[in-house]
Chains A and B, each alone.
Chain A
Amino acid sequence: MNTAVNSGQDPLMEPSGPPGNHGRATAFVLRVLAAAALAVDAVVHVRFAPGYQSAAPEGLGEGNLFLVEAAAAGVTGLYVLIRGSRPAWVFTLIIAGGGLAVLLLYRYIDIPAVGPFPAMYEPIWFFDKTLTAIAQTAAVLLAATALTLHRPGRRKTHHPSLPRGRNRGHDDK
Chain B
Amino acid sequence: MKTTKTPQRLVLVMFCTITLLGASACGGNSPSAAPSSGTASQPAAATPGSTTMDPGMGASPMASSMGSMGSLAAATIHIKSFAYTGPDSVPAGAMVTVMNMDTEAHTVTADDGSFDVVVKAGTSVTFTAPVKPGAYAYHCTYHSNMHGTLSVK
| Chain A residues engaging chain B, CB cutoff 8 angstroms | 48, 51-52, 54-56, 58, 62, 110, 112-113, 118-124, 126-129
Q: Which one, A52, A58, A121, A129, contacts B38 given CB within 8 A?
A: A58
Decide yes or no whether B81 CB sits under 8 A from chain A.
Answer: yes
Q: How far does the alpha carbon of A127 sit from the alpha carbon of B147 in the complex, in Å? A: 14
Q: A58-B38, A112-B41, A113-B40 are in contact. Are A121 and B141 (CB under 8 A)?
A: no
Q: A118-B40, A127-B145 are in contact. Are A56 and B82 (CB under 8 A)?
A: no
- Most A CB within 10 A of own CB, among B38, B81, B121, B142: B142
Are A58 and B143 in contact, with the CB atoms below 8 A? no
Question: Which residues on B sit within 8 Å (CB–CB) of A55?
Answer: 104-106, 142-143
Q: Which one, A119, A123, A127, contacts B82 given CB within 8 A?
A: A123
- Most A CB within 10 A of own CB, among B37, B41, B103: B103
Question: Which residues on A sit within 8 Å (CB–CB) of B3?
Answer: none
Are B81 and A112 in contact, with the CB atoms below 8 A? no
CB distance from B25 to the nearest CB of A (A): 25
Grouping DSSP codes into helix (H, G, I), strand (E, B) and loop, the A interface class, with mixed when no group exceeds half, is loop
Question: Which residues on A sit within 8 Å (CB–CB) of B52?
Answer: none
Are A51 and B144 in contact, with the CB atoms below 8 A? yes
Q: Which one, A54, A123, A124, A126, contacts B142 given CB within 8 A?
A: A54
Q: What 0/1 pattern do residues 4 to 41 of B give for CB contact below 8 A with A? A: 00000000000000000000000000000000011111
Are A51 and B41 in contact, with the CB atoms below 8 A? no
**Nearest-CB residue, chain B, relative to A122:** B82
Question: Which residues on A sit within 8 Å (CB–CB) of B104?
Answer: 52, 55-56, 62, 118-122
**Nearest-CB residue, chain A, relative to B106:** A55
Decide yes or no whether B83 CB sits under 8 A from chain A.
Answer: yes
Question: Which residues on B sit within 8 Å (CB–CB) of A126?
Answer: 145
Q: How far does the alpha carbon of A123 sit from the alpha carbon of B83 in the complex, in Å? A: 10
Q: How far does the alpha carbon of A56 sit from the alpha carbon of B100 in the complex, in Å? A: 14
**Nearest-CB residue, chain A, relative to B37:** A58
Question: Which residues on A sit within 8 Å (CB–CB) of B106?
Answer: 55
Question: Which residues on A sit within 8 Å (CB–CB) of B40?
Answer: 56, 58, 112-113, 118-119
Question: Which residues on B sit within 8 Å (CB–CB) of A112?
Answer: 40-41, 103
Question: Which residues on A sit within 8 Å (CB–CB) of B102?
Answer: 121
Q: How far does the alpha carbon of A112 sit from the alpha carbon of B102 in the complex, in Å? A: 12
15 additional contacts, CB 8 Å, given A51-B141, A56-B104, A58-B37?
A51-B140, A52-B142, A55-B104, A55-B142, A55-B143, A58-B39, A58-B40, A112-B40, A112-B103, A113-B38, A113-B40, A119-B41, A119-B103, A124-B145, A129-B145
CB distance from A160 to the nearest CB of B (A): 45
Are A113 and B105 in contact, with the CB atoms below 8 A? no
